[in-house]
Structure 1
C-alpha cells in the first residue's frame, strides 16, 4: 500500500532505527512508547491486520523478530508482552498488521 507509514518504515522508505529485520518482517521502536522497551514488529508486505490473509512464512518471520527483539533488548528472562489490536474498537490506529513487544518493567493490567 503506497501511503501506509508502516510499509514505508519497514521497507526503508522512511528512516528509522531498526532493532532487527529479516526478509519478511521488521522491528523498530514505537514513536510513543508505553514501556522502557516498546518495539513494533510489522510485516514488510501490507496486511491490514492478522486476519488479512497473512501467510505462515510472514507470521514465522514476525515470530523470529520477536525472538530477536527480546534477546537484543535483554527482556527475554524478565517477562514481556506481545499484543496486537484488530480494528478501531480494539484500538488499532494504523491499518497495518503490527505486534507491540513491551517490557523492561512490571507491566500493569491497564496495558492489556
Structure 2
C-alpha cells in the first residue's frame, strides 16, 4: 500500500534504522543522508519517511511532504556549504531510478556539466 513501509525497500530500511547511513538531517517526514555511490563531491539523498515509488506519486498523495522534501534538500545543501547545486528526481528505470522510493539527489561541490546524472 502506498505510503506504508516496504520490507524489500532499502530506503524504508534506512528510515527504520535497519541499514546504517550518514544522516545529515532528519525531520518528522524526511531524512537526508550521503549517497554511498556519489556522482559529485557532494551527493546527498533526501527521502520521505513514507514509501511512494517516485516523486510524482508522492506529490499527488502528499503535496506538503513533497514540498518539505524540496525545502529539506535546500537546507541540506546550505548546511553542507553549497552555494550552487543541482536537484534531480529520477522517475522510472528508463530515467535511471534504481530505488523505487521517492527521493531527490542533491549534487554539488564542483561545477556540474550538462547531462551529468
Identify whether the pair has TM-score above 0.5, normalized to the shorter chain: yes
Find the residue that maps to 1:63 and give its secondary structure.
helix
Q: 2:91 matched to 1:86?
A: yes
CA–CA distance in structure 2, aligned partners of residues 80 and 10 of structure 1:
24
Find the residue that maps to 2:31 and give its secondary structure.
strand
Find the residue that maps to 1:57 and give its secondary structure.
helix
Q: Report if the CA contact (8 A) 1:22-1:61 is conserved.
A: no
Q: Which residue of 1 aligns with 2:12?
A: 7
Q: Which residue of 2 aligns with 1:69?
A: 76
Q: Deviations over 1:20-64 (max 9, x none)?
A: 110001110011101110000111110000122431221122123
Match of 2:107 among 81, 92, 102: 102
Task: Report the number of matched residues.
Answer: 110
Q: 2:47 matched to 1:37?
A: no
Q: Which residue of 1 aligns with 2:67?
A: 60
Q: Report if the CA contact (8 A) 1:49-1:96 is conserved.
A: yes
TM-score by length of 2: 0.87
